[in-house]
Amino acid sequence: MKAQTPPCELLARQDADYRGWLWVAPPRDSWLESGEGVVWSADLAVVNAWRAAGREAHAGLTLPPLAPPGAVLFWPKSHAQGEWWLRTLSATLPAGTPIQVVGEHQGGIKRVPKVLAAMAHACRKLDNARRCTLFATEAGEGRPDPEAGWEQFETHGLALATHPGVFGHGKLDEGTRLLLETLAALDARGELPAGPTLDIGCGDGILAAWFARQGHAVTATDVSAFAVAATQRTLALNQLEGEARQSDVFEAVPERFALIVSNPPFHQERAVDYGPAARLIEEAPAHLEAGGVLLLVVNAFLPYPDWLTAAFGEFETLADNRRYRVYRAVKSRR
């Protein structure tokens, strides 16, 4: 099987014996998924792909006791998230376990030596090709800190938990702000369905917390374990009720809802990926009650109108600030 991504192409040309190694935060790549070893990823879509191939895979932000012969960390586009992964991995694995760190130059892999120096860890450059670099170090002493990386900020009268790797880390993005303004106007006019509400792509939990504060029964989902943990913390910080679960779109959501709300993602690291958003719209009618409502805030340049028309027959634009639009689609009562 040929590697499909530049970091995996760099790894594939190494003389190292990677059998039984731990692969941390990898991209989707059939070369990895058809090989050997164990994966640890906060991305449920990656975990599901490995499990479908019969491979051992761990989601979530903690790892059960493992003693692999080595580990490879794929450096993410977020420097802060990469540092969290590296520090957590180093503290989780037995001291002295070989760790390799690979990533693309445009993704910030060249920062790794400085991060390792700050950790008082040795760093050795192993290879450089395909506009990627591979570094080597090893696990140190210590235990993972469950509070590492967690911060808080406030907006709209709510305290939000945030962590590197969560969408909009540490701030409210413009699209969500427009959606919240639209929701407040709908609520003032009594146009929000009062039944159970689903927030897909919950991020730091701002939408889930807003609806919970309004008295809605809220379920929040995200493919990222970072986001699920952030939403759980946000609800707890504000003493609000709600459930947050890890799900790849509707995968772990068998229920039906009166309202589905989302600021859907369209990026996977640096690549554009419309797949999750398209699936959300296509499958939404099956998860809405008769007369149920889908509310989306989206980038104005993306092809959501075609998907909404195909799934619902018609839709309306509730807000448009040229960069973002809020769409509403209603499931037929027939």
pLDDT digits (tens, 9 = 90+) for 236-263: 999 999 999 999 999 999 999 999 999 9
Domain-embedded: residue 146: no
- Asked if residues 224 and 267 have their Cβ atoms less than 8 Å apart, the reply is no
Q: What is the pTM of this model?
A: 0.94
Same domain for 236 and 92: no
What are the Cα distances from residue 68, in Å, to 30, 50, 91, 303, 320? 21, 17, 14, 44, 51
CA–CA dist 188, 181 (Å, integer): 11
**Residue owning tokens 């731990």:** 22
CATH number of the domain bearing residue 323: 3.40.50.150
CA–CA dist 16, 29 (Å, integer): 19
Same domain for 156 and 129: no
pLDDT in tens, 31-63: 999 888 999 999 999 999 999 999 999 999 999
CA–CA dist 215, 238 (Å, integer): 13
Structural domain total, the chain:
2
Residue 267 clears pLDDT 70, i.e. is over it: no
Same domain for 183 and 39: no
Final residue of a structural domain among 138, 170, 188: 138
Give residue 308's domain range.
151-330
Task: Residue 179: name the closest of 258, 267, 294 by CA.
Answer: 294
Same domain for 163 and 134: no
Domain-embedded: residue 178: yes
CA–CA dist 304, 307 (Å, integer): 5
Same domain for 112 and 28: yes
pLDDT in tens, 73-120: 999 999 999 999 999 999 999 999 999 999 999 999 999 999 999 999
Same domain for 253 and 125: no
Domain-embedded: residue 112: yes
Residue 274 clears pLDDT 80, i.e. is over it: no
Same domain for 214 and 90: no
**Residue owning tokens 């860890």:** 121
Domain-embedded: residue 272: yes
pLDDT of residue 181: 97
Same domain for 115 and 168: no
Same domain for 194 and 129: no
Same domain for 166 and 132: no
Same domain for 167 and 131: no
Mean pLDDT of the chain, nearest integer: 94
Residue 268 clears pLDDT 90, i.e. is over it: no
Domain-embedded: residue 326: yes
Same domain for 235 and 313: yes
CA–CA dist 308, 204 (Å, integer): 26
Confidence band of 272 (pLDDT split at 50, 70, 90):
low
pLDDT of residue 226: 96
Q: What is the dihedral of CA 250, 252, 258, 264, to 10 degrees?
A: -40
Domain-embedded: residue 145: no
For 18-21, the CB contacts below 8 A with 24+ separation are: 18/70, 18/72, 19/69, 20/68, 20/69, 21/68, 21/69, 21/70, 21/71, 21/72
What are the Cα distances from residue 235, in Å, to 68, 146, 173, 213, 224? 36, 18, 19, 10, 17
What are the Cα distances from residue 25, in Å, to 45, 97, 205? 11, 18, 23
pLDDT in tens, 135-172: 999 999 988 999 999 999 999 999 999 999 898 888 89
pLDDT of residue 269: 45
Domain-embedded: residue 128: yes
Final residue of a structural domain among 74, 108, 138: 138
Task: Residue 111: name the closest of 141, 78, 160, 144 by CA.
Answer: 78
Final residue of a structural domain among 75, 105, 138: 138
Alpha-helix runs per DSSP H in the chain: 6-12, 30-33, 44-52, 79-92, 112-118, 174-188, 206-213, 225-237, 275-283, 304-312
pLDDT of residue 168: 84
**Residue owning tokens 């957590």:** 88
CA–CA dist 5, 74 (Å, integer): 11
Domain-embedded: residue 194: yes
pLDDT in tens, 7-19: 999 999 999 899 9
In a 13 Å sphere around the CA of 166, the CA atoms on its Cβ side amount to 31
